[in-house]
Amino acid sequence: MGYFEILGQQNCLGCYSNCLSCFGTLASNCLSCDNTSYYLNNSCYTTCPSYYTNQSNPSRKCVSCPSNCLSCPVSTTVCSSCASPYFIFAYNSSYSVCVNSCPQYYYQLSQTCLACVWPCVTCNSSTSCLSCSAGYYFANNYCYPCQKSCLTCSGSTALDCITCVVNYILKNGVCQKLQCADGQYVDSTLGCLNCSSNFANSLTCLSTGPLTCQPGYLLKNNTCGNCTVVTGYVYDKTTGRCKDLCGDGIVITDLCDDGNTLNGDGCSSVCTIETGWRCPSNLCQLIKTPNLTLVSMKSYPSNHTVILWVQLTVGLRLIQGNFILKFSTITNFAYTVNSLNAQYTIYQIIIVYYQSPQNEQLSISVKSPISRLLAYTSSRDLQSTTLQLNISLSLSLSVPIQTTPPAIYVS
């Protein structure tokens, strides 16, 4: 229920039914309507009146039908009835308008528009043309083709040309083929003209516009503009040309682009795919899993000890190791994790467990923020990032009760 405040007073009164907000209690005092009604001229309607359509958007307003349209209940682009003497002409199922005569390529029969026969532009029946499309001339209520070099003509011979097709020029009433030099185009009346004279910064062109652009420019909207007119490009001062901007997350000519220019995350600083990674889109994924090495397995009277090494892909290290170990059945065990080098790329895991089951399954997962190991400098500088490394490894342990070391299989 909407409310309004009486001017100069603090009393709030209810709006008229279906009004969401109002400036009075009458049906004609609405400012907006609830979601069951449509707004028009300070009133709310369950269905919009004639000459309007229901606009089912957040504003829920009644919108005027097009000119000469009496009703358009579905959409403002679909008229269902017309004011006299207009009648409906439907271009397709989603667009119909009211007309008092048919447009080009159609002729009127009663209050219906029927298509002319190609190549008629206008006609008065399915067999009688009044005017013709380009490349045809009109004679005896019919359209006949011009000679192939003519764009428009008055007859069927090469001597009847009025204007010429592309790369032909009209001389003495005849369209003659003209070969222009690189960087030029054929004007049908003036001959060979330089592309750059009429189309700034163009390299090659037609009479209608540029085909290619000078180095340092790109083609967009039939115009040669500077490199930045096309998203993802930047001007390269070294070559004087436009190049794919590395680090913007847009792949055009680069092999990859992950939105930065750092090494060690799969896509290098020059947007090439690094070893051990794949980059199907602008996100790179590790394809080389960490190496797992069994260092030793020992059995003691009260426990068993397994030492494993996990070596990460070159270029990555863990900032905060978060190794999670689980056995399929063993619950009584402990483990420690230590880095074996200054770059934090090799970790040693020591597992101590106090049961001796057979064919035990061990799973190791690593979930930790990582950092990139930058180009191989003497200082081995590290730069932090927000990437997440996820590793899943499993071991199948066959542990005997005696002191014989168990077999281990890496999957």
pLDDT tens digits, one per residue of 75-116: 888 888 898 899 989 888 888 889 999 989 999 988 888 899
Q: Per-residue DSSP letters for 12-62?
A: EEEPPTTEEEESSSSTT-EEEE-TT-EEETTEEESS--TTEEEE-STT-EE
**Region 306-334: what's the mean pLDDT?**
75
**Region 239-258: what's the mean pLDDT?**
91
**Region 330-349: what's the mean pLDDT?**
84
**Region 272-289: what's the mean pLDDT?**
76
Query: Does residue 255 register a pLDDT over 80?
Result: yes
**Region 163-189: what's the mean pLDDT?**
85
Q: Per-residue DSSP letters for 89-133?
A: EEEETTEEEEESS--TTEEEETTEEEEPPTTEEEESSSS-EEEE-
Instruction: Report the pLDDT value the prediction gives residue 233, as an integer from 0 to 100.
Output: 94
Instruction: Report the pLDDT value the prediction gives residue 339, as an integer from 0 to 100.
Output: 85
CA–CA dist 70, 133 (Å, integer): 35
Report helix, strand or coil for 160: helix
Per-chain mean pLDDT for the chain = 80
Domain ranges across the chain: 3-64, 255-285, 289-410
CA–CA dist 215, 202 (Å, integer): 9
Report helix, strand or coil for 329: coil
Q: For the domain with range 3-64, which CATH number is right: 2.10.220.10, 3.30.559.10, 3.40.50.20, 1.20.120.420?
A: 2.10.220.10
Strand partners, 69: 82
Query: Does residue 178 register a pLDDT over 90?
Result: no
Indicate whether this model's pTM tops 0.75. Answer: no
Percent of the chain with pLDDT over 90: 24
Instruction: Report the pLDDT value the prediction gives residue 177, as an integer from 0 to 100.
Output: 87
Instruction: Report the pLDDT value the prediction gives residue 377, as an integer from 0 to 100.
Output: 32
Nearby residues of 65 by Cβ (< 8 Å), 6 or more positions away: 51, 52, 53, 71, 72, 76, 79
Q: How does pLDDT run across 120-132, given as a tens digit for each residue?
A: 999 999 889 999 9
Tell me if 294 sits within 8 A of 398, measured CB to CB. no
Instruction: Report the pLDDT value the prediction gives residue 410, as an integer from 0 to 100.
Output: 33
Q: Which residue has the higher pLDDT, 380 or 163?
A: 163
Q: For the domain with range 289-410, which CATH number is right: 2.60.40, 2.20.25, 1.10.10, 3.90.1720?
A: 2.60.40
Report helix, strand or coil for 349: strand
**Region 185-197: what's the mean pLDDT?**
86
Nearby residues of 214 by Cβ (< 8 Å), 6 or more positions away: 196, 201, 202, 203, 224
Encoded amino acid at 82, one letter: C
